[in-house]
Structure 1
Amino acid sequence: MPRIDLHLHTTYSDGSLPPAEVLLLARKAGVTALAITDHDIVDGIPEAIEAGRRLGIEIIPGIEVSSRHGETELHILGYFLDWQDPLLLPRLARLRAGRHERNSRIVEKLNNLGLTLTYEEVKARAGSDSVGRPHIARVLMEKGYVQSAKEAFDRFLGEDKPAYVPRDLPEPAEAIAWIRAARGLPVLAHPTWVRESAEGLSKLCERLKGAGLMGIEAHYSTHKPQQTADYLDMARRLDLLVTGGSDFHGLTKPDIEVGLGRGGLTVPEKLLEPLKKAAGVS
């Protein structure tokens, strides 16, 4: 069954596979179009475009920008953006610089807890400029301190855990503005992650729509059928575009497959046309 996947990560951020290998998995899953949405970096897009040409898979330039909502993070996906935009690139570079500062503090906390690792080891594991907690988790796995990325987050890296450090992030409206300025479509990622009631989420989306939000990720690997139905209803009520994706990472989320999520994900191919129309592309 033809399907699309508009939320994927590669080794250019915190995924464990390079774009070309992600696309091979996409072809196997019957994915006809996909978006590489690495965290705060667009460097993997050229490789994805080239692999897409070879494999006959349409590539949508994408990004996932982190923002701050209260005491937690809120992620904004961007689609069909000009990924070489001269304003966007330095903005993303500032986010990545903030990651380095935060990660150094996390490693320091881990050292104080008796775990031996250096940030140089973490950066070497990442292999790109977008370094995050999943890379720290992988180093902890390699050193035998934990058996899985989940254990690393549950014991050390997650919110309220002993090595957690919050990030200095833009407000959601600012992240949305960055994407709009690069002629992209800003979409709220994985709404189940937003710490709001159903009514609170609806009001938040309404406020963010006023700031330029254009869509919501209604189809997602961990959404239950009723949640997907609720988000589709919200999209209709608020006149928001609908997107969906697996949020594939590879090793750090081993139960998530490209195009299939946990096995029951289907992001309909028909969702692509309204996105293209909104972006003004054919």
Structure 2
Amino acid sequence: MRRIDLHLHTTHSDGSLPPAQVLALAKKAGVTALAITDHDIMDGLPEAMQAGAQLGIEVIPGIEISSRYNDEELHILGYFLDSQDDRLRGRLAQLRANRHKRNPLIIVKLNELGMGLTYEEVRALAGTESVGRPHIARVLMVKGYVQSAKEAFDRFLAYGKPAYVPRELPDPVVAIAWIREARGVPVLAHPGWVKETESGLLALCERLKAAGLAGVEVHYSTHKRAQTTEYLNIARRLDLLVTGGSDYHGITKPDIEVGIGRGSLKVPEKLLEPLKKAAAVN
């Protein structure tokens, strides 16, 4: 069954497989086009493009940028960006630097809770400059302090938990502007994560559309049918693009597979053409 997947992570951020292996899984799942949307980094694009050319899969340049909304993280996806844009590269580098400021503070808190790990161990496991809490979770798994990344977040790393440390992040309006300035198409990621009522989410999308938001990730691995319907209605009401993706990570989200999510995800190929048209206008 042919499908697309516009939300995938690799070892260049917090995924556990390199781009070429993610593309191989995509081929098996019947994915005809995909976007690598690593956090705050686009270094995996060349390898993905090469693998895509060999496998006959269209690869779309992508990014996922975290922003701050009501003391929580709100993620903005960007598609068809110019990965060589100097302003974007500088901004992404600053976001990665902010990660390196925050992460050692998390390690200190974990140490105080009796867990023996160092940031050097986390960076060695990560093997990338975009180091985040999922990498810390994986070290906790390796050392036997937790059995899964979910347990690590639920007990220690999530907002409000003992080892949580906030990260310096831009406002979502700013993140949208960064993507626009790099000639990309900004899309609200996994709206099911946004802690808002239905009317609150609609109001947020209206505000973000006024700032340049182009679409909503309606189809997503963990969205329930009612949520998908709600987000589709918001997109239609506000004349926003409809997109979708699995948010594949590998080890830290073992129940999510490339292209199919938890088994029932299917992002239609027909959603790609409107996205391309929006990118052509930039």
Same topology, TM > 0.5: yes
- Counterparts of 1:89-238 in structure 2 under 5 Å? 89-238=89-238
The alpha carbon displacement at 1:71 in A equals 0.9
The alpha carbon displacement at 1:229 in A equals 1.2
The alpha carbon displacement at 1:140 in A equals 0.6
The alpha carbon displacement at 1:182 in A equals 0.2
Report the counterpart of residue 54 of structure 1 in structure 2: 54
Report the counterpart of residue 35 of structure 1 in structure 2: 35
- Aligned-pair identity (%): 75
Q: TM-score, normalised by structure 1?
A: 0.99
The alpha carbon displacement at 1:34 in A equals 0.2
Distance 1:257 1:24 in 2: 12
User: What code does the residue aligned with 2:150 have?
Assistant: K
User: What code does the residue aligned with 2:223 have?
Assistant: H
The alpha carbon displacement at 1:155 in A equals 1.1
- Counterparts of 1:63-102 in structure 2 under 5 Å? 63-102=63-102
Q: TM-score, normalised by structure 2?
A: 0.99
Report the counterpart of residue 254 of structure 1 in structure 2: 254
The alpha carbon displacement at 1:222 in A equals 0.5
The alpha carbon displacement at 1:138 in A equals 0.5
The alpha carbon displacement at 1:159 in A equals 1.1
SS in structure 2 at match of 1:280: helix
Distance 1:277 1:153 in 2: 39
Question: Gaps (5+ residues) in structure 1?
Answer: none
The alpha carbon displacement at 1:226 in A equals 1.4
Distance 1:234 1:154 in 2: 30
Would you say 1:21 and 2:21 are equivalent positions? yes
Question: Gaps (5+ residues) in structure 2?
Answer: none
RMSD value, Cα: 0.7
The alpha carbon displacement at 1:114 in A equals 1.1
Distance 1:40 1:234 in 2: 27
User: What code does the residue aligned with 2:65 have?
Assistant: V
The alpha carbon displacement at 1:109 in A equals 0.6
Where has structure 1 moved over 3 Å in runs of 4 or more?
none
Distance 1:229 1:70 in 2: 25
Distance 1:69 1:251 in 2: 28
User: What code does the residue aligned with 1:253 have?
Assistant: K
SS in structure 2 at match of 1:264: coil
The alpha carbon displacement at 1:154 in A equals 1.1
User: What code does the residue aligned with 1:198 have?
Assistant: E
Distance 1:33 1:163 in 2: 38
SS in structure 2 at match of 1:163: coil
Distance 1:264 1:213 in 2: 27
Give CA-to-partner distance per residue, 1:30-52, whole Å, 9 cap, x none. 00000000000000011100000
SS in structure 2 at match of 1:249: coil
Distance 1:20 1:69 in 2: 34
Give CA-to-partner distance per residue, 1:130-161, whole Å, 9 cap, x none. 00000000001111111111111111111111
Distance 1:69 1:36 in 2: 24
Distance 1:100 1:251 in 2: 22
Distance 1:11 1:213 in 2: 28
Report the counterpart of residue 276 of structure 1 in structure 2: 276
Distance 1:202 1:228 in 2: 14
The alpha carbon displacement at 1:233 in A equals 1.0
Distance 2:36 2:114 in 1: 37
Distance 1:204 1:102 in 2: 28
